[in-house]
Structure 1
Amino acid sequence: MGMRLVDYLDKGASLGSDAPCLTTDGSSLTYGQVRELSSRVAAALAIRGVEPGDKVAIISANDPVAFSCVFGISRAGAVWCPVNPRNVAAENRELLALFDCTLVLFQSGFAPLVEQIRDDLPLVHTWVCLDDSVEGALGFEEFLAPAEEDVIDRHPIDDVAMIVGTGGTTGRPKGVVLTGTNLETMTALTLMSYPFPDDGRPVYLALAPLTHAAGVLCFPVLSLGGEVVVMRSPDVGRFVGLIEEHQVTHTFLPPTVIYAVLGHPALDTTDLSSLQCFWYGAAPMSVSRLEEALTRIGPVMGQLFGQTEAPMMISTLSPAQHFTADGEVARSRLASAGRPTPLVTVAVMGPMGTVLPQGERGEIVVRGSLVTPGYHKNPEATAEASAHGWHHTGDIGYLDEDGYLFIVDRAKDMIISGGFNVYSTEVEQALLAHPDVRDCAVIGLPDEHWGERVVAVVQPHEGRSPDPAEVVAFVKERIGSVKAPKQVEVWPDLPRSTVGKVLKTDIKDTLRDGS
């Protein structure tokens, strides 16, 4: 049985209950206050009939009170179901139904979403509005009223801590079960893989949604009594300023937002010396922009590779690993996803379940206590993902002679053009080195001559207008004509999921319909 989510809070509180725990807009809740709030939430849930193992959802933007409720859910022995409010209503309704949620906490800003889905969720017996009174929902104070109850400290059933919906980009959404053991392994790997203050408390800046990767990265920070500075809404200029203002030591952003940070005029005049680790992940990062970040943000970039089913820490590239022993940037390593972490076994597998030798490309598979026990109420998907006794990531890659893991594509995104395997990430890295290209996506479209032709959609830097023919020539020079795009489209922006991942299926559909 792993640690419960609330145990990280209680551990941090044992190091001093007056220390700041969750800070936003200049005001802080101390560890003691967050603990008390979590106890009141746990008692309120118990009074409303929530039993250990029951599912409770939170629909909220980044907010200290909403995040405090996560610990109340855990203290009641219930299961936290984070919901991304930016999903379409139908997808959130489907997830809440799939998870069998019985109680939902939400912010008033999402009352219209709640209105759209509440009639279709008969299992939800209580709706609680966290920050206002909304018709048909309990106000938060009214919900919390019975504070005289003994502090509830129940244990979860089967160690289940949370169920996380996988985006519906690949058909029907699935619910990934994460146990206390999964998250404890993730926390241990975080603390052993990256620098943390020796004598002080870390300060973690959360701009990315706490419903996603940014949320689980809070647990290692809380276990050290650290402070989480919560940004209610994304604002790159404010983000840069808060690093200096709060002496931030740790933060996490996906690459696309890091590109925006690199483009912000305040970056070079802000004191970022407090940073120890600036995590990036969730999508491949341009090697040229990563080199720029190592100079302009500092030698503090830390990569992580994981997925919902094996959270965050399948492999890591610590800040120090971005450099060689003599202090030069380790260019060849920057395109890697780092090295498999100490508590995870990684292999590369061929189509028939054989483990391939070093340097050969195949599907990345993993084993260990980081890996989910499976998908909620979906034994078929669980069996498929754990074939041959390994968890299948759906990513294609290889391990080099130094044990670094290179991801070359999502299995479903590989392009076969003229009989050759073309891996989109390799083409994307070449495109991202072009001075006019801010971001890009490479896909395959049906082609009578080639079988599939390589197509690139590029998003230019502001004020730039790349010439498609010149872009093709630039890529050919770097990776040869077989892999170079046969077609380059320039779009002002790329379609993205609610967590910022580029939606290649949408790009394919648009280009297919247009061709």
Structure 2
Amino acid sequence: MRLTDYLDKGTSLGPSAPCLTAAGESLSYGEVQQLSWRVARALARSGVRPGDKVAILSANDPMSFACVFGISRAGAVWCPVNPRNEAAENRELLDLFDCTCLLVQESFAPLVARIAGQLPKLATVVCLDGAFDGAIPFEDWLADVSAEPWQADPPDDTAMLVGTGGTTGRPKGVMLTGHNVETMTALTLMSYPFSPRPRYLALAPLTHAAGVLCFPVLTLGGEIVVMPAPDLGQFLALVGKHRITHTFLPPTLIYLLLDHPGLDSADLGSLRCLWYGAAPMSATRLEEAIDRIGPVLGQLFGQSEAPMMISTLSPADHFHADGSLARERFTSAGRPTPLTRVAIMAEDGTLLPYGERGEIVVRGPLVMPGYYRDPEATAEASKHGWHHTGDIGYLDEDNFLYVVDRAKDMIITGGFNVYSAEVEQALMTHPAVRDCAVIGLPHEKWGEQVTAVVQLHEGRTATEDELRATVKELLGSVKTPKAVHVWPDLPRSKVGKVLKTDVRARLTS
């Protein structure tokens, strides 16, 4: 399936039904479909050929997301660009992707002015919601363009180019095919509760998980309610107003939601699935979320190279058959999905038995074909015939997957392996801890010293000895942090993940 097929499937179920909604105004399925034909024709008129790369730089916006389907109809490749990136990072990504066309909101005009001169392959810049020097206004670009059905055939199955984080050097471009997205969509529909015409609230950036989760919603003729900016009070109001059935929040936002004064009085009765993922979640706070939000929490585990659905823990999987909480599963990433093979691999390529820890590796149609124009990185990621996730974990005898750390975050202290995620889970059981990060710092005697930085709930206090005692009781002395620092906040990425590189830099500077 091409990306347009999800829109066309939804349109076939009722062209007048609302498709994309924001600020109380909706574009119907029929309107989005017609817009996609016009955008495709305009792209072709601007010289965009099948296989060319077209980027969108925009905050969450229905019109911007509608253009994704025009790019697909033109046979081109969608390059989602994170609007929170710095100018240099976006210049590097657009250059890496060989982008020939950029669709951008007027608010990013200063950023475009700084980088456009360094992008010789960028031939066309279109301003989606206004005008600025060097850009064609969207309405002018679409002037005299027919809304009659039209599409071009792509040269291959590449549907998206997704940039990986550049924290370890030059970012890479993950090639995702129509078959990858189709597999992800099928696994989503298999793994979570759905009924016709779901209503999905997109608070997180559409350039990330929130965007690709739109495709299964579209196949069922559902409505996508788009939030231009993250506002948890507005989020709670919109769930009730639009009778939202599905939404996605990273754990950091769920923690903030649990601390929001309006949560307990909000009408969340329509929710069927609140997906969480993108980072480990505290088992303690997960139980609190189930209690206060409802039995609707659903975990997903994936990465750009194998999007979203390597393993899943559905809302029902959070409970035993007798209705009691399955607390022992709360620190797992669920079970591998039906169309995905997951194994645990030693460094020499040997597959390990249940219970043994090693790198999580994956096979199947969910996995990317490779990195764009980077055969060396592709070969490294696919050693021994499996995709290497870079995560350390294990499978238990019931086939539940546990992610214990990123390979690069493992701490070796006194000859013992300590997994930072395990220590973080233990710290999060303390009622005063809102969030935390655990890293290893150089130590003359131990090699590395387990070190924790914690952020406390407002108005709460906890001493270093209390926090260390909490970990020691649960995990023993080897894994107990030798040092605990309390900070008012933790450095975070643009999508809310704690930046351990920044934590380490602050502690060693």
State the shift of 1:146 in Å.
3.2
Does structure 2 conserve the Cα–Cα contact (< 8 Å) formed by 1:43 and 1:146?
no
- Equivalents in 1 of 2:295, 2:148: separation in Å? 49
Pairing 1:361–2:361 present:
no
- The SS at the match of 1:304 is strand
Q: Distance in 2 between matches of 1:411 and 1:146?
A: 54
CA distance in 2, matches of 1:394, 1:179: 22
Give, in angstroms, the shift of residue 41 of structure 1.
0.4
Unaligned 5+ runs, structure 1 = none
Which residue of structure 1 lines up, in the alignment, with residue 181 of structure 2?
Answer: 183
Query: How many angstroms apart in 2 are the aligned matches of 1:456 and 1:146?
Result: 61
Matched, 1:342 2:338: yes
SS in 2 for 1:364: strand
Letter in 2 for 1:505: T
Match of 2:417 among 421, 427, 446: 421
Preserved CA contact (<8 Å) 1:454 1:487: yes
AA at the equivalent of 1:492:
P
One-letter amino acid of the structure 2 residue matched with residue 118 of structure 1: A
Q: Equivalent residue for 1:220?
A: 216
Where has structure 1 moved over 6 Å in runs of 4 or more?
A: none
Give the match for residue 118 of structure 2. 120
For residue 368 of structure 2, the aligned residue among 372, 378, 391 is 372
Kept in 1: contact 2:34–2:148 (CA 8 A): no
Give the distance between the partners of 2:221 and 2:148, measured in 1 at CA: 25
RMSD: 0.8
Identify the match of residue 101 of structure 1 among 93, 99, 102.
Answer: 99
What are the residue-to-residue correspondences of 1:29-178 with 2, within 5 Å? 29-148=27-146, 150-178=148-176
* Amino acid in the other structure paired with 1:247: R
Q: Which runs of 5+ in 2 are unaligned?
A: none
TM-score (norm 1): 0.98
Whether contact under 8 Å (2:187, 2:339) holds in the other structure is yes
1:395 corresponds, among 391, 398, 406, to: 391
Structure 2 CA distance for aligned equivalents of residues 464 and 189 of structure 1? 42
Inter-partner Cα distance in structure 2 for 1:387 and 1:230: 40
- 1:238 matched residue in structure 2: 234
Distance 2:85 2:22 in 1: 24
Question: In structure 1, what is the Cα distance between the partners aligned to 2:57 and 2:390?
Answer: 29
Residue 490 of structure 2 aligns to a residue whose secondary structure is coil
Normalization by structure 2: what TM-score?
0.99
Hey, what's the Cα distance between the residues in 1 that align with 2:265 and 2:475? 37
Q: Say which SS state the counterpart of residue 493 (structure 1) adopts.
A: coil
1:463 Cα offset (Å): 2.1
Measure the CA separation in 2 of the matches of 1:155 and 1:364.
Answer: 37
Shift in Å, 1:264: 0.9
For 2:197, the aligned partner's letter is R
- Structure 1 CA distance for aligned equivalents of residues 144 and 157 of structure 2: 27
1:157 CA drift (Å): 2.1
Look up the match of 2:404.
408
Could you tell me which amino acid in structure 1 is paired with residue 120 of structure 2? P
- Cα offset, 1:498, TM superposition: 1.1
Within-5 A mapping of 1:479-498: 479-498=475-494
| Equivalent pair of 2:34/2:149 in contact (CA under 8 Å) | no
Equivalent residues, number: 509
Asked whether the equivalents of residues 44 and 146 of structure 1 are also in contact (C-alpha less than 8 Å), the reply is no
User: Alpha-carbon deviation of 1:150?
Assistant: 5.0
1:75-104 deviation digits (Å, cap 9, x = unpaired): 111000000011111111000000000000
Identity of aligned residues (%): 71
Cα separation, 2, equivalents of 1:184 and 1:165: 20
How far has the Cα of 1:149 moved from its partner? 7.1
Query: Does structure 1 conserve the Cα–Cα contact (< 8 Å) formed by 2:35 and 2:147?
Result: no
Which residues in structure 2 correspond to 1:262-281 (within 5 Å)? 262-281=258-277
Contact 1:9 1:223 in 2 (8 A): yes
